[in-house]
Amino acid sequence: VTLVEYGDYECPFCGEFYPIVKQVEQQYDSQIHFQFRNLPLIQVHQNALAGARAAEAASLQGKFWQMHDLLYENQDPTGKTGWVASSNPLDQYFVGYAQQLGLNINQFKTDFASSKVNDTINADIAAFNKTGIEEATPTFFLDGKQIQPGYSLADFSKYIDPEIKAKTQKQ
């Protein structure tokens, strides 16, 4: 089954779901394909787009998930410290994260500002807009159907287990 999360790296609710989604990935390891798509809510989160750019720039060097994790693990839910409150998150935080991941820093900075990265983010936003659902993060889809799980592995399992069972019976 495919679980898609439309998320915003600065969103405190996405930050709360982050460890739960990691548990879901571990629990369903080979039975689930997890995709993260960018939905930066720039009207309420000043650095949401910068966070998305950092993840996508890291992706071009094969380190998307590692940067994704660092962004959530270093998110300050109060918004008072860390990269979410920074006036220059690229230089103050993201370059350090890129160094930590062993990325080519010059390439990372070039990619961060590139149209290729912007096009990827814009494609995610456009795909979300086609759903007709009001912009909110996180928004989850399981095999193309929106789900609204609570903040626990068990809540996700209520949706995922029947979907896996249905697919297994069809084969």
Sign for the pseudo-dihedral over CA of 123, 127, 128, 129: positive
Q: Which residues contact 53 (CB under 8 A, 6 or more apart)?
A: 112, 113, 117, 118, 121
Q: Which two tokens stand for residue 89?
A: 């998150």
Contact 22, 54 (CB under 8 A): no
Q: Hey, is 128 helix, strand or coil?
A: helix
Pairing assessment for the beta strands 33-38 and 2-7 based on DSSP bridges: parallel
Each of the 171 residues of the chain gets a pLDDT tens digit; together they read 999 999 999 999 999 999 999 999 999 999 999 999 999 999 999 999 999 999 999 999 999 999 999 999 999 866 677 899 999 999 999 999 999 999 999 999 999 999 999 999 999 999 999 999 999 999 999 999 999 999 999 999 999 999 999 988 876
CA 115 to chain CA centroid, Å, is 20
Whether the CB-CB separation of 80 and 67 falls below 8 Å is answered with no
Provide the token pair at 30: 């080979």
